[in-house]
């Protein structure tokens, strides 16, 4: 049949038929006079493309279904490759939904923050000391339970491991400080415009890394005044990503990258699996030289945890701090 007749039978335009052919999806026979001759099988394939595109698949994503029909199957999704194409599209939509949900959450946070400020106060001038803040944590996040995975840590000696740091140097744990310092470990941080793994908020203790990082940023001066000579963060995040995070949030302390989870292996630290990744559970160590003095675990909520560490330092002053206060 001619192109117009085939297009009418398939419920598509002649232009669409030409596009399907140019894309290699349809292969009509060419007559000796140069005209295309579309078969009933071509019409069936064009109908399949139209139906799949109505579900959101692209023309190229319809290929497994067309090959399934060409192989003689009664339906385009009778083949394993077609089911895999369905799953690929579902995963793609899940990522889009998660990204849109994240954008909605950030917008709602901005709106609530603006609403709390009100509309009639004189606007304060922006100064260099005004630092970016992450969106508020969602309500009703599940709290982690103490599974005892950190009880063995007080008294342990940190291994002499070195990690890439956001200040451009490798930081060796045995050279951080001879006095008291803080090392907080976190799973991973989100990035504006990039969706977190599906179901992340439902993992107890997973959400809140940016909020925790900003908490240590905002309490850094007070932490140092109460004996924490250094504050460092560590996760399995890539070092280049951590550098972007430091710039974006204005973090004044180094972040260490441990993608191989070397510290977890050396100290038997608590971890969890999510979407094929092994990640650190949220954990903070108070270290004296190389000896773990105290472990905070589990940590919840993460956005107020830095203040919790500060309260502990006030209640447990180091020898150096006791002498200073006398």
**Has residue 212 got a pLDDT over 90?**
yes
Beta pairing, strands 255-257 & 231-235: parallel
The pLDDT tens digits for 182-195 are: 999 999 886 655 55
The answer to whether residues 289 and 183 belong to one domain is yes
Which H or E run includes 108? helix 80-117
The answer to whether residues 4 and 69 belong to one domain is yes
Burial degree of 75 (CB within 10 A; 0-12, 13-18, 19+) = exposed
The answer to whether residues 100 and 28 belong to one domain is yes
Stated pTM of the model: 0.60
Residue 156 belongs to a domain: no
pLDDT value at position 128? Answer: 43
**Has residue 226 got a pLDDT over 90?**
yes
Residue 53 belongs to a domain: yes
The answer to whether residues 199 and 51 belong to one domain is no
What are the tokens at 272? 């969890």
How many beta carbons lie within 10 A of that of residue 155, not counting itself?
A: 8
**Has residue 10 got a pLDDT over 80?**
yes
Task: Give the domain CATH number at 33.
Answer: 1.10.1660.10
pLDDT value at position 252? Answer: 95
Burial degree of 290 (CB within 10 A; 0-12, 13-18, 19+) = middle
Average pLDDT, the chain: 88
The pLDDT tens digits for 97-126 are: 988 887 887 787 788 777 766 655 544 444
- Residue carrying the six token digits 């799949």: 52
**Has residue 218 got a pLDDT over 90?**
yes
Residue 198 belongs to a domain: yes
Residue 139 belongs to a domain: no
Model confidence band, residue 209 (pLDDT cutoffs 50, 70, 90): very high
pLDDT value at position 275? Answer: 79
Residue-range definition of the domain harbouring residue 55: 1-116
pLDDT value at position 79? Answer: 94
- Do 209 and 187 contact (CB within 8 A), yes or no? yes
The answer to whether residues 81 and 221 belong to one domain is no
pLDDT value at position 326? Answer: 56
- Mean pLDDT computed over 192-207: 78
Task: Give the domain CATH number at 204.
Answer: 3.40.30.10
% of the chain exceeding 90 in pLDDT: 62
The answer to whether residues 177 and 62 belong to one domain is no
The answer to whether residues 100 and 173 belong to one domain is no
The answer to whether residues 7 and 69 belong to one domain is yes
Number of independent structural domains in the chain = 2
Residue 122 belongs to a domain: no
Residue 137 belongs to a domain: no
Residue 126 belongs to a domain: no
pLDDT value at position 126? Answer: 41
- Mean pLDDT computed over 249-259: 95
Across 99-235, the runs of DSSP E, i.e. the strands, are 162-164, 170-172, 180-185, 231-235
Of 144, 252, 235, the C-alpha closest to 190 is: 235
The answer to whether residues 112 and 41 belong to one domain is yes
% of the chain exceeding 70 in pLDDT: 91
The answer to whether residues 202 and 298 belong to one domain is yes
The answer to whether residues 239 and 313 belong to one domain is yes
Of 147, 140, 143, the C-alpha closest to 204 is: 143
pLDDT value at position 105? Answer: 78
**Has residue 163 got a pLDDT over 50?**
yes
Residue 134 belongs to a domain: no
pLDDT value at position 198? Answer: 76
The answer to whether residues 315 and 183 belong to one domain is yes
The pLDDT tens digits for 272-320 are: 998 788 999 999 999 999 999 999 999 999 999 999 999 999 999 987 6
pLDDT value at position 150? Answer: 97
The residue out of 81, 116, 151 marking a domain boundary is 116
pLDDT value at position 246? Answer: 93
The pLDDT tens digits for 15-58 are: 888 888 888 999 898 888 878 898 999 999 999 999 999 999 99
């Amino acid at each position: 049949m001619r192109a117009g007749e085939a297009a009418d039978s398939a419920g598509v335009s002649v232009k669409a038929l030409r596009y399907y052919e140019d894309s290699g999806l349809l292969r009509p026979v060419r007559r000796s006079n140069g005209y295309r001759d579309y078969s009933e099988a071509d019409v069936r394939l064009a109908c399949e493309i139209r139906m799949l595109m109505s579900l959101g698949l692209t023309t190229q994503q319809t290929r497994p279904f067309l090959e399934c029909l060409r192989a003689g199957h009664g339906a385009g999704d009778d083949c394993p490759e077609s089911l895999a194409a369905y799953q690929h599209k579902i995963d793609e939509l899940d990522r889009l939904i998660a990204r849109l949900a994240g954008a909605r959450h950030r917008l709602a946070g901005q709106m609530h923050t603006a609403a709390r400020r009100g509309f009639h106060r004189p606007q304060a001038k922006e100064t260099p000391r005004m630092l970016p803040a992450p969106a508020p944590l969602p309500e009703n996040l599940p709290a982690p339970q103490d599974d005892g995975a950190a009880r063995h840590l007080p008294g342990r000696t940190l291994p002499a491991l070195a990690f890439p740091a956001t200040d451009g140097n490798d930081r060796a744990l045995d050279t951080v400080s001879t006095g008291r310092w803080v090392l907080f470990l976190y799973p991973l941080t989100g990035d504006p415009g990039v969706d977190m793994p599906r179901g992340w908020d439902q993992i107890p203790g997973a959400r809140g890394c940016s909020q925790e990082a900003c908490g240590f940023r905002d309490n850094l001066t007070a932490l140092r005044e109460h004996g924490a000579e250094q504050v460092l963060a560590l996760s399995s995040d890539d070092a280049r990503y951590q550098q972007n995070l430091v710039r974006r949030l204005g973090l004044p302390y180094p972040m260490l990258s441990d993608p191989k989870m070397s510290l977890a292996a050396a100290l038997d630290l608590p971890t969890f699996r999510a979407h094929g990744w092994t990640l650190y559970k949220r954990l903070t160590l108070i270290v004296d030289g190389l000896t773990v003095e105290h472990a905070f675990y589990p940590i919840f909520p993460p956005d107020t945890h830095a203040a919790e560490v500060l309260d502990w330092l006030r209640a447990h002053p180091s020898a150096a701090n006791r002498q200073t206060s006398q």
